[in-house]
Chains A and B, each alone.
Chain A
Amino acid sequence: MFNFVKNRKYYFLVSTLVIVPGIVAMLFSLATTGAPVRLGIDFVGGSLFELQFSAPVTEDAIRDVFSQYGLQDVVLQELQPIEASMISGSRWQARTSFVEPEVTEEITAALSEQLAPLDKDATNVQQVSPTIGAEVTQAAVVAVVVATVVILLFIVFAFRQVPNAFRYGVCAIAAMIHDILVVMGVMSILGLLFGWEVDALFLTAMLTVIGFSVQDTIVVFDRIRENSRKRRGEDYEMLVNRSVLETIHRSLATQLNAFFIMAALLLFGGATIKQFVAILFIGMASGTYSSIFNAVPLLVSWEKGEIPLLSRGRRQQPA
């Protein structure tokens, strides 16, 4: 039987190599901007443009002009008076990150020139507050912490018949934290390199990744639970190895299905959700990796006393 768990040190190394640059980016970002990732208008507020064009203008055309000024994450909405009789030309509102007044004038001039003349009286730009207050962000973080503790308890309970049930919970949580770090790190790097900003959808992507991560880990753990009942006395490493090999088809098939949906959205979906889907995609790939290559090998390492701080319960194992 292929010994899959044997190479665990390399899996941990791969994870470390992925996570460390992310952590460095987050620290750099924290030192320069005060936040580990680049925060978008949803979190820090920004500028609100109200634009009144004298002729119909398309969403894509406006988006193009804004991107000429480096504003990629513009939230564009068409405005219409409630009484339909008043419609003339087209009226839009655009939410962007903060724009200096001089640049604002350049942008409105460019819009006027390239698309359709703007009605000066009905066009204005204001600074606006964030839509997601600090308390919401804080609540989300607390929710994740609470969820982590409850999930830990749940796993310990669900695996209570297996020796050292607590370790299963800890390893699943460790894999989850791995995924959080991967996603945050990648987002931080993309923020530094390409100006990707974290918005309300990122919060959702993060929560999805957390849910998926735990779910994926539990499926593999479930096999270990079953096999440890069926094959008492088998070497733990062999047992775990067997369990992973037995579930790997399922892991791949499931990941492949998730991949189909996300790939379709990435390739053919609208521009405004691409960042969201990309982050989701990275997070779910990380979730699959961490279940098989982190959570499970970690169990074996713990069992063998290889984890520095947790080596008290070291057992004698033939090398």
Chain B
Amino acid sequence: MSGHIRWLIVTIVVAVVSIWMVLPDNPGIHLDLNNDGKAEIARTIAIRPGLDLQGGLRVLLAADLPADQITAGDMETARRIVENRVNALGVVEPVIQLQEGANRIVVELPGISDPETAIATIRETGLLEFVDFSGLGDVSHLYGARILTTAQLEQQAARQQAQATTAPGEQQPTATPATPQPENTETTDANAPIVNPRTGQPFVTVMTGAGLQSAIAQVDRLGTEWVVNFTLNERGAEIFGDFTARHIGQPLAIVLDGVVISAPVIRDALTDGGTISGAFTQEEAQQLAVQLRYGALPVPLRVESVESVGPTLGRVSINRSIQAGVLGVITVLAFMLLYYRVPGITADVALLLFGIMNIALFKFIPVTLTLPAITGFLISVGTAVDGNILIFERIKEELRKGRKLNIAVEAGFDRAWTSIRDSNLSTIIICVILYLFGSTFGAGSVRGFAITLALGLVLNLFTAVIVTRTLLILVMQVAGDKLEHRMWWMGI
């Protein structure tokens, strides 16, 4: 008895919390732990619709080199790198397409709150250099300084050549003027890049990021600092191994986009890999690892235009579909009520709670809602109903055999449990596999589908079994005597 009261309380608490989260103007969670007026825990709770439902940001990237210096392979590599970077940003389900012949890449990002960061990460050429600092003694004062290197000069020369040879009319005209070159903002600061004080010449680049095989952000051995560990590819190992062997005891700078990140002293010949440390935060280390892992872009890209795009499925279509979906769910609720009557009412309440809990979790996690994701949700609504149908059919069977009402109800739940458990488990297994494959191969839509379906199935085990059972037992306690001989009310 007390068990049911306990579950009733749990159900009510869950319902209240879920309804609060689902409220359209939910303020989110803001906790000020040390009363300094600033919230330490700030969490917005909002639905995050995907590109197909809401649209997002469309960034048009164009190759910043003359057409004859770019191969189709370069553009495909650039597209793939952009795709990897966008996926690593955590944006779910972007669209990244190559415009053939025009040397442009279309990038569509759903629901990005900060376009600046997104664009910066996408077009970041991420020039990583290992720069010769030998003979400079203590170089810690150079940390964070902007230096000029030989690799940068080469890149600049290529870029200037590109701008000189791009004749007007050669490229497709576009409606919006090209956004200002980000270089402008970077070079406006007064500090011109430093050259090597020993030689008066630009620093010599030993190796660029092209020599890297892989990079991963990790906590260092002491467990206190975020570092990036890298491994070298064959060519990198040759260059790097040779250089480090000849310069043991000398500092070597790690330079990203002209800025010195750190300059450790070479202790040993490095032929397979090493560590980059530089007092990174977790995010910084991860971002650097992403840039290194996916390499520098083979082609410099400039942002040609940034526009917002409407949903891929069409606004009208989506509105109609949402109305239709609501209508469908109402039909399901009506069917359960008409076909199963009193148990049907409890199933309807459980189903509504199921829907609210789901939406609350979508907002809280948050899950990017796309059509595949919503389909996953609708299918889980289907299985949530299925759970109750399995139970109610069993109850009816027991009643037909002449069992007493409360015994039939208990038996119905017990008997239906194994098939609810096994059928849900099998689908959850499928979801896990799809999720794993979805994240490995950047198939975002597959992943979204797997998450919402799995979420629905797990919640379903709670609502279809525990909530319905609690409610039905409550009804039996209140009106069991009246229902005992009125089988019509039990759906028979």
What is A's interface to B at a CB cutoff of 8 Å?
45, 48, 50, 52, 59-60, 75-82, 86, 91, 93, 95, 119, 121-122, 124, 126-132, 135-136, 139-140, 142-143, 146-147, 150-151, 154-155, 158, 200-201, 203-205, 207-208, 210-212, 214-216, 218-219, 222-223, 225-226, 246-247, 249-250, 253-254, 256-258, 260-265, 267-273, 276, 280
CB contacts under 8 Å to A, within B78-128, are 79, 95-102, 104, 106, 115
Contact, CB under 8 Å: A119 / B375: no
B306 within 8 Å of A (CB atoms)? yes
Instruction: Please tell me which one of the listed residues B172, B313, B426, B449 contacts residue A218 in the complex, with CB atoms under 8 A apart.
Output: B426
B235 within 8 Å of A (CB atoms)? no
CA gap between A9 and B491 in the complex, in Å: 35
Contact, CB under 8 Å: B434 / A147: yes
Contact, CB under 8 Å: B104 / A126: yes
B397 nearest CB across to chain A (Å) = 7
B174 within 8 Å of A (CB atoms)? yes
CA gap between A135 and B438 in the complex, in Å: 11
Contact, CB under 8 Å: B419 / A265: no
CA gap between A154 and B421 in the complex, in Å: 12
Q: Which residue of B lies closest to A122 (CB)?
A: B175
Contact, CB under 8 Å: B423 / A265: no
Contact A147 to B429, CB < 8 A, known contacts A203-B445, A207-B434, A261-B378: yes
Instruction: Please tell me which one of the listed residues A119, A131, A211, A225 contacts residue B175 in the complex, with CB atoms under 8 A apart.
Output: A119
CA gap between A211 and B97 in the complex, in Å: 31
Contact, CB under 8 Å: A128 / B106: yes
Q: Which chain A residues lie closer than 8 Å to B321 at the CB level?
A: 265, 269-270, 273
CA gap between A249 and B443 in the complex, in Å: 38
Q: Which chain A residues lie closer than 8 Å to B397 at the CB level?
A: 246
Instruction: Please tell me which one of the listed residues B329, B372, B424 contacts residue A204 in the complex, with CB atoms under 8 A apart.
Output: B372
Instruction: Please tell me which one of the listed residues B332, B423, B442 contacts residue A219 in the complex, with CB atoms under 8 A apart.
Output: B423
CA gap between A247 and B390 in the complex, in Å: 8
Instruction: Please tell me which one of the listed residues A60, A129, A136 contacts residue B97 in the complex, with CB atoms under 8 A apart.
Output: A129
Contact, CB under 8 Å: A222 / B175: no
Instruction: Please tell me which one of the listed residues B98, B336, B446 contacts residue A140 in the complex, with CB atoms under 8 A apart.
Output: B446
CA gap between A147 and B434 in the complex, in Å: 8
Contact, CB under 8 Å: A139 / B313: no
Q: Which residue of B lies closest to A273 (CB)?
A: B321
Choose the segment among B13-21, B355-363, B380-388, B403-411 that binds chain A (4+ C-beta atoms closer than 8 Å): B380-388
Q: Which chain B residues lie closer than 8 Å to A214 at the CB level?
A: 423, 426-427, 430
Contact, CB under 8 Å: B389 / A253: yes
CA gap between A121 and B174 in the complex, in Å: 7
CB 8 Å contact bits of B303-325 with A (1 = contact, 0 = none)? 00011111111111111110111
Contact, CB under 8 Å: A77 / B99: no
Q: Which of B55, B315, B434 has the most CB of A within 10 A?
A: B434
CA gap between A210 and B376 in the complex, in Å: 12
Contact A143 to B55, CB < 8 A, known contacts A79-B309, A124-B172, A131-B95: no
Q: Which of A121, A132, A142, A249 has the most CB of B within 10 A?
A: A249
CB 8 Å contact bits of B207-248 with A (1 = contact, 0 = none)? 000000000000000000000000000000000000000000
Contact, CB under 8 Å: B385 / A263: no
Contact, CB under 8 Å: B437 / A155: no
Q: Which chain B residues lie closer than 8 Å to A225 at the CB level?
A: 418
Q: Which chain A residues lie closer than 8 Å to B320 at the CB level?
A: 268-270
Instruction: Please tell me which one of the listed residues A80, A201, A256 contacts residue B307 in the complex, with CB atoms under 8 A apart.
Output: A80
